[in-house]
Amino acid sequence: MKPNRALFPILVFLGGCSYGPSSSVIKLGYADGFTPLTFLFAEYFTGLFLLLLIAAVLIAYTYFRHGRTDIWNMYMPAERESSARSGQAHEAAATEQAPEKTSTKPRGDGILRMFACGLSLALVSTCYIVSLNMISASLAVLLLFQFTWMGVILEAVIKRRSPSRNACISIIILISGTVLASGILGGIGSMDPIGVIFGLGSAFFYTINMYLLGDSKTEMHPFFKSLTTLLFACVAVGFIFGPMLIGSGGVDELLNPSLIPYALMLGIIGCALPVSLFSIGMQRLPLGFATTLSSSELPASIICAVLIINETVMWYQWIGILILLYGISYRYMFVKGRKKPVIPFS
């Protein structure tokens, strides 16, 4: 039975929303005396543990239900799985016409690229968590969302061609929305410049991460690709920040029972849940459409900051948020001469 056409956009939208409460949860943890390094380790290693549990369930289910033991190939991309089913139905014809099979195991430059994805992902969280210790949660997420125009600039530099007219208009709209939404109109005296730099750093590394993920040549199933990327991110976090954690006495914080609720919440809403939802939904949607849907993180983060930690958001900041969302979707709404994207739900 084919899934409902609305299912995949809803999953991506919910995946973006699930990131929303994370900044407010971290702010609450800071109020309880925990440090950025503690949250960095707690979020990633708890998220990895939860994804490993999900992977174990998938592997066990597939083994006992279908008797398959190839962990890498049993959850192949949708197109290859469809081809495999077609080949089983028409074995003789498929044998003559089927293309040469390739393994879904990551190797060579694919492993290096996935390690780079994990490293950049770790740096995103590092900059974001540090910025939350210095600036408001709403401003931190607004700075993170500057990846929307940084990606346009990066694409122009890599491809050595000027951005399109629609991309330039989108950048202008995004910057205008950021000026309003950031609260600069109310004064900059309360803004920590170091926190702003780290917030922009999270956007920069997120841009790098998105580029590496989009350019990856590994043909793994999205869930196992995300799991492997998160594993490399944990390795990077442990290698780079492990000595700092030990030297600062952060190990005692990690063993503090009071950290468990924060670790579970961040592991679920910051890693396991969005990764799982995106792995199901994004492979069935055009990239631009999926990116627009995942921007639901922005209003979700602002709303959670208002409801959970009672941050004040002025009326002109809400207008700025709406302008930002419009700017994010502008590139994909008004493109002359291009047909509407066809969403493959086969």
pLDDT in tens, the chain (346 residues): 455 667 888 888 898 888 889 989 999 999 998 988 899 999 999 999 998 998 888 888 877 876 655 555 554 444 444 444 444 444 444 444 444 444 445 555 667 878 888 899 889 989 999 999 898 888 888 888 888 788 878 878 888 888 778 878 888 888 888 778 777 666 555 678 899 999 999 999 988 887 776 665 556 666 777 788 889 999 999 998 888 888 877 788 888 999 999 999 999 998 888 877 877 777 677 655 666 677 788 888 888 888 998 888 888 888 988 888 888 777 666 554 444 443 333 2
Residue 286 burial by CB count (10 A; 0-12/13-18/19+): exposed, middle or buried?
middle
Predicted confidence (pLDDT) per residue in 166-186, tens digit: 878 888 888 888 778 777 666
Q: What are the structure tokens assigned to 272, written together?
A: 């396991």
Tens of pLDDT, residue by residue over 186-202, are 655 567 889 999 999 99
Q: Which two tokens stand for residue 93?
A: 């014809």
For 305, the enclosing helix (H) or strand (E) is helix 297-308
Q: CA 80 to CA 224: how far, in whole Å? A: 16
- What are the residue boundaries of the structural domains of the chain, listed by start? 7-72+106-333
- Of 203, 221, 232, 210, give the one whose Cα is nearest residue 276: 221
Angle, helices 287-294/7-19, rounded to nearest 10 degrees: 40
DSSP H helical ranges for the chain = 7-19, 22-31, 36-66, 78-89, 91-97, 109-132, 137-144, 147-159, 165-181, 193-214, 222-247, 250-254, 260-267, 273-281, 287-294, 297-308, 315-333
**Cα separations (Å) of 94 from 80, 91, 99, 257?**
13, 5, 9, 57
**Contacts for 33 with CB less than 8 Å, ≥ 6 apart:** none
Residue 317, Cα to own-chain centre: how many angstroms?
Answer: 24
Instruction: Please return the burial class of 94, using the count of CB atoms within 10 Å of its CB with bins 0-12, 13-18 and 19+.
Output: middle
Indicate the residue type of 116.
A
Please count the CA atoms within 13 angstroms of the CA of 25 that sit on its side-chain side: 22
- The pair of structure tokens assigned to 40 is 């960095």
pLDDT given for residue 185 in this prediction: 67
- Contact assessment for residue 26 and residue 128, using Cβ atoms and an 8 Å cutoff: no
Q: Please report, for residues 18, 89, 165, 338, the alpha-carbon distance to residue 63 in angstroms, rounded to integers and kept in the order given.
A: 31, 22, 52, 44
